[in-house]
Amino acid sequence: MGGRFFMLAFLALVAAAADKPKNVLLMLGDDAGFEMGSYLNKICQTPNLDALAKDGLIFNNAYTSVSSCSPSRASLLTGLPSHQNGMYGLHQGVHHFDSFDKVQSLPKLLRKMKIRTGIIGKKHVGPNSAYPFDFAHTEETESILQVGRNISRIKELAREFLATQNRSQPFFLYVAFHDPHRCGHTHPEFGNFCEKFGNGQPGMGKIPDWNPVYYDWQQVKVPYFVPDTESARREIAAQYTTMSRLDQGVGLLMKELENAGFKNDTLVIYTSDNGIPFPSGRTNLYDPGMAEPMIISSPVHKDRKNEATHSMTSLLDITPTLLDWFGIKDARKVKKHAANLTGKSLLSLLKEEPADDNQTAVFASQIHHEVTMYYPMRAIRTKRYKLIHNLNFKMPFPIDQDLFISDTFQDMLNRTRNQQPLVWYKSFLKNYYYRPEWELYDLKYNPEEQNNIVLKKSMKSTFEDLKNRLFEWQKKTKDPWICSPGGVLEPFNGDKNNLQCMDSLAF
């Protein structure tokens, strides 16, 4: 009798656990890179992100599908590349880029499934009808500095969201920090990275929960793609200060999650939108612009805590992962949307590392950043090779606004004009501005992507294979630029069901 009673009680507990709502906390850094102890940066202090990594799985091959803020956020929230969701460039002011009205974003899909959604911080996507959140405190309603960098305000809003959460209803809370984005062109009084904002000094205001960490510019870790100059080092030191502020914000959020009693049923993800805002980083499809930090900590997956995965991963995988986590990947209301997704759920990686996937690829699609920065690119990356197609290769690569006025880039311009060495991994800025139509890199021997081997006879078969795979992905995702730069997509013999690339070049 006692054994039978025990078994019934055990089964009741299992059933109760199965019925317990599953929640998601997604935290996004703004232009954040690998300035973390868990990614072997021994200078920048990030104890909270490091603790999250120890409690989860850290990704060593995660990549954005587009190296620009709004397009990346739209891709992350829809699972669709920028050319497929319509967010071609920055969603702000005169730029006015929007996703297509009928795009089925995560907040829209989850709302249909009775899952409560919330956003705190930088939204930077639109229209609102395509990205509806039940709880929203973003730059649309208050200062981006307050909801994106004031970690005390972020903590209070998270507490409000969790306090008003129905315990029987799952939730998705998206916290998009504005750190460590540059701010020299909008709020120069706070420093190049807003590292002075809220530090308690005269005129800077005070963030109560922030204990600023300051760094010696001579001791920072300079990435290979950033000039090793005093100007760049001082900017990296400022970047570190705001990265440490973001980290303290992560700690506050995790504490709020625990205090509210949701820690044991919430999937926690941390990642970034694109590369850091330095030359070869953001707006580029070189690895410094594409490679992203990513940590996933699950309360139910215990097998791979404090481990690393080398599996090829895309930010396009986040939407399929969340649909899988909420158990709605096959639901009728999302089935049509899921059929358009080229990403995959990452939950299986939390259990075991897959077999060697050297041929697995991630894809990228860049069109604009600022409205004047039209430089469409497509890319395919495997573990060993990267192929970039520069569709606008006859024009110089454009420089974005806040990078242009930065001390780092102004120093590079002045050195070039004065015919002085750049102290950079590229000898000349001209090589950065003017790029060939195709760039192929063997990342095993050339991880810095300096030696373009696309014309090597021995690489012809590799080039053709990657080009064909990229073209097939473009077809699958209905890329309007699929025939660029030398052709036009037209119905063959008037058959609208048979679209083909027609050569448009007459010379």
Please give the positions annotated as active site. 69
Q: What is the DSSP string of 371-398?
A: TT----EEEEE-SSEEEEEETTTTSPPP
User: Is there a contact between 6 and 16 (Cβ–Cβ < 8 Å)?
Assistant: no
Q: Is the dihedral of CA 185, 190, 193, 194 positive or negative?
A: negative
Query: Which is nearest to 99 in space by CA: 59, 127, 73?
Result: 127
Rounded Cα gap, residues 85 and 71, in angstroms? 9
User: Is there a contact between 156 and 123 (Cβ–Cβ < 8 Å)?
Assistant: no
At residue 475, the 3 state secondary structure works out as helix
**Residue-wise burial string across 424-460, b where 16 or more C-beta atoms lie within 10 A, e elsewhere:** bbbeebeebeebeebbbbbeeeeeebeeebbeeeeee
Rounded Cα gap, residues 228 and 138, in angstroms? 36
Q: Burial level of 185, CB count in 10 A (0-12/13-18/19+)?
A: middle
User: Is there a contact between 106 and 322 (Cβ–Cβ < 8 Å)?
Assistant: yes
Rounded Cα gap, residues 318 and 503, in angstroms? 37
Rounded Cα gap, residues 434 and 455, in angstroms? 17
User: Is there a contact between 409 and 399 (Cβ–Cβ < 8 Å)?
Assistant: yes
- Cβ of 401: how many Cβ atoms within 10 Å? 16
Rounded Cα gap, residues 339 and 295, in angstroms? 26
Q: What is the DSSP string of 13-76?
A: HHHHHHHSPPEEEEEEESS--S-SGGGT-SSS--HHHHHHHHTSEEESSEE-SSSSHHHHHHHH
- Cβ of 8: how many Cβ atoms within 10 Å? 10
H or E, element range at 205:
none
Q: What is the CA radius of gyration of the chain?
A: 23
